[in-house]
Amino acid sequence: MAARRALIAGNWKMHGLAAAVEELDRVIQGFGAELSSKIDLLVCPPFTLIEEFAATAKGSKVLIGAQDCHPKASGAHTGDVSAEMLADAGAKAVIVGHSERRADHGEGDALVRAKAEAAFRAGLIAIVCVGETQAQREAKQTRDVVLRQLQGSVPDGAGASLLVIAYEPVWAIGSGLTPSSGDVTEVHGLIRNAVSARFGAAMGSATRILYGGSVKPDNAASFLKANDVDGALVGGASLKAADFLAIASRAV
Ligand code: PGA
């Protein structure tokens, strides 16, 4: 296994009011010296909590990120938030191209790519999400869909230090259904080969590829120990510190 440091990322989605900082506190307390020496831990709350979470996590090893950004640095874009604003609020990473944004907001690969470029411009890690729907899986299009999204969504100027790819089969998100670890390894291998072919072998072996979709404490090990899996993007189970930390502990 190459020297890729595991990343466990929590995607809080549209959950969390001010009191949720207590849950973050529990994550910080539980992310002790031993675990934090081995893996990276990231919590991505809604926009409204980023600044406070970043202030709370300051001095700890827990990183705070966002779930989306606008491609532009500033401008007349009502309701949007730029990558520069996220960095200014203390975020270190941003998820782009999550399937819920692709589905709910009609985001396509070109827009996702522009958002990833914005993340890099602001010095943020971009977690670029790809993954097939149930229908695409049944039609045996997983490979084509993932490669097309990867090609379209990852910017040419990407470097391994700020690029993370998350393979999230859409049908596995929030459903309790998961692919086998063998299926995940196969798709991750495909992604790694595509990154190597496009950016060179060094970048291919350095780029972290996360699995996401119904990751829970009791199934996390099967994914996190699989070949070519460098961490997890966790939705529902990231909302409870105990579950999130239990998943993180499976990464070592
Ligand atoms: P889930 O969500 O863990 O609740 O399935 C994962 C995600 O959407 O990133």
pLDDT tens column, 14-60: 999 999 999 999 999 999 999 999 999 999 999 999 999 999 999 99
- On the question of pLDDT at 169 being above 50, the answer is yes
* Structure token digits, residue 24: 């973050």
pLDDT digits (tens, 9 = 90+) for 205-248: 999 999 999 999 999 999 999 999 999 999 999 999 999 999 99
Q: For ligand 1, what atom is nearest to the CA of residue 172?
A: 5
> Ligand 1 centre and the CA of 210: distance in Å?
12
* Mutate-to-test residue for ligand 1 from 170, 234, 244, highest number of ligand atoms within 8 A of CB: 234
Whole-angstrom CA distances from 128 to 6, 31, 100, 151, 163 are 16, 25, 13, 11, 8
pLDDT at 160: 87
Helix axis angle, 241-249 relative to 21-30, nearest 10°?
A: 30
Identify the residue whose C-alpha is closest to ligand 1 atom 7: 235
Query: Residue 1: what pLDDT?
Result: 42
pTM for the model: 0.98
* Residue 55 identity (one-letter amino acid): A
Q: Phi-psi region for residue 227, left (φ > 0), alpha (ψ -120 to 50) or beta?
A: beta
Nearest-angstrom CA–CA distance, 1 and 232: 17
Ligand 1: atom nearest CA of 174 is 5
Label the pairing between strands 163-167 and 125-130: parallel
> Which pLDDT score is estimated for 204?
97
Alpha carbon of 213 to ligand 1 centroid (Å) = 5
Radius of gyration of the CA atoms of the chain, in A: 17
Integer Cα distance of 118 and 112 in angstroms: 10
- 235 Cβ partners below 8 Å, 6+ apart? 10, 11, 13, 173, 174, 212
Distance 131 CA to ligand 1 centre (A): 12
In this structure, the residue with its CA closest to atom 6 of ligand 1 is 235
For ligand 1, atom 3, which residue shows the shortest CA distance? 235
Q: Is the dihedral of CA 210, 130, 124, 68 positive or negative?
A: negative
Measured CA distances, 212 to 84, 178, 183 (Å):
26, 9, 13
Known catalytic residue at 22? no
H or E segment and range at residue 164: strand 163-167
Residue type, 102: R
The residue from 23, 84, 132, 168 that is catalytic is 168
H/E run at residue 36: helix 33-36
Active site includes 98? yes
Answer yes or no: is pLDDT of 173 > 80: yes
Which residues partner with 9 through β-bridges? 42, 233
Neighbours of 159 (CB within 10 A): 12
Identify the structural domains of the chain with CATH numbers, from first to last: 6-68+81-249 (3.20.20.70)
Look at residue 127 and tell me whether its pLDDT is greater than 80.
Answer: yes
Which amino acid, residue 173?
I
Residue to probe by mutation, ligand 1, list 12, 42, 168, most atoms within 8 Å of CB: 168
Residues with CB under 6 A from ligand 1: 11, 168, 173-174, 212-215, 233-237
> How many A from CA of 75 to the centre of ligand 1?
31
C-alpha 98/C-alpha 124 separation (Å) is: 16
Averaged over 171-176, what is the pLDDT? 97
C-alpha angle with apex 153: 42 to 239, nearest 5 degrees? Answer: 25
Summarised one tens digit per residue, pLDDT across range 65-117 is: 999 999 999 999 999 999 999 999 999 999 999 999 999 999 999 999 999 99
Strand partners, 6: 39
Q: Are 12 and 66 in contact (CB under 8 A)?
A: no
Candidates 191, 90, 94; CA nearest to 148 is 191
